[in-house]
Amino acid sequence: MEMNRSMARLLGRVDTGGITPDEATPAFLRIVEDGWEVTPGGAHVLSALKSSPPGPFSDVVHEEYTVNGRGMTDHDLPASGQERESRLLRRCVAYAGSALLRTDALGSAVEISAYISLSYGGLADDHLTANVTFCGDHPGVRPYAADLEAFETEAILRLRRTGEPPWSVRGGPWTGRQLDLMRRLSRAEIAPERFAVQWLDARRKALNEGERVGEHLDRALHQVFYALDEYPIDPALREDGDTTDAELLGIVDRTLEWIDAAGDRRRPPSVPLFGSSPLHTAAPAP
């Protein structure tokens, strides 16, 4: 699972623990029940959403994100506030996770991902809405969202079909806090010493709260923990061989790159590491 900075901040303040499939609305669960199919063009689409007549589409990914994209039901939610944020995101994850589980029946070698987007719109630009779409990683075709940070006006989350339940979003708010701190350090918005204190505190709270994450993210966060284990926060206590500020930054940068990259997500970097438009309408420009 990957996210941009806006989504990391959102997950730091909303409740995403214990999401279950039945949190999706009945209409979206019916879409899931109809399953998946592969179109003549090679697109992996939800059967209930396929277009007739199809296209035209520029490529298979264009077909997938156009056909599969839908706005999430929100008319029964509070008009604004944290409860709206939380319940809207939970609905999206419940639907996306349920749909991803059904992709096994395709028997396809193409990996399908769900893209969940929350953004503000309306006349006063203060109405939060959400969209969900699904796209595959097709050889030789530009992915839908190679750079999640390119979606500057929305909080975006990418879910994959992994060994963990696909609705286990980043474990919870304290896991999101760790990721947010890592991005802040990478942007030089927080000093390394302060980062170390706050990141270790967030990690401790995530463990105490029992937040669970997928293997990919767990192994990535361990890279940062190992670096901080050799990083004396008090500069006066540092000795030869300890992690330096520059090395810590390098580790965090490379770990973030690995989390967000479109390459191999099952093997973390070796140690040491140092030395917008709505989702269902358009992808970011190259």
The amino acid at 143: P
**268 versus 1: which is more confidently predicted?**
1
| Residue 91 banded pLDDT, cuts 50, 70, 90 | very high
pLDDT digits (tens, 9 = 90+) for 194-208: 999 999 998 998 888
* Contacts for 80 with CB less than 8 Å, ≥ 6 apart: 126, 127, 128
The first and second tokens of residue 11, run together, are: 């997950």
CA angle 260, 283, 164 (to 5 degrees): 40
pLDDT-based confidence at 169, cuts 50/70/90?
A: low
Q: d(Cα 156, Cα 148) in Å, to the nearest integer? A: 7
Least confident of 54-63, 171-180, 218-227: 171-180
Q: Which residues are registered as beta bridge partners of 113?
A: 135, 160
Q: What local confidence, expressed as pLDDT, does residue 179 receive?
A: 83
Return the closest-CA partner of residue 228 out of 259, 258, 252: 252
Q: Identity (one letter) of the amino acid at 280?
A: H
Q: Where is pLDDT greater, at 252 or 211?
A: 252
Per-residue pLDDT of 171-221, as tens digits, reads 566 787 888 788 889 888 889 999 999 999 989 988 887 776 666 677 788
Q: Between 251 and 271, whose confidence is greater?
A: 251
CA 82, CA 21: separation in Å to the nearest integer?
A: 21
Cross-strand pairs, 136: 112
207 token code pair: 């463990």
Query: pLDDT tens digits, residue range 137-163?
Result: 999 999 998 888 888 889 999 888 754
For the residues of 126-164, what is the DSSP string, one character each? -EEEEEEEEEE--TTS--TTS-GGG-TTSEEEEEE--SS
Task: Please list the alpha-helical segments (H only) found in the chain.
Answer: 5-11, 26-33, 60-68, 82-102, 173-186, 192-208, 215-229, 245-260
Q: If we measure between CA atoms, which residue out of 35, 62, 31, 29 comes closest to residue 279? A: 62
Q: How many Å apart are CA 51 and CA 169, to the nearest integer?
A: 30
For residue 64, the Cα-to-chain-centroid distance in whole angstroms is 19
Find how far residue 33's CA is from the centre of its chain: 24
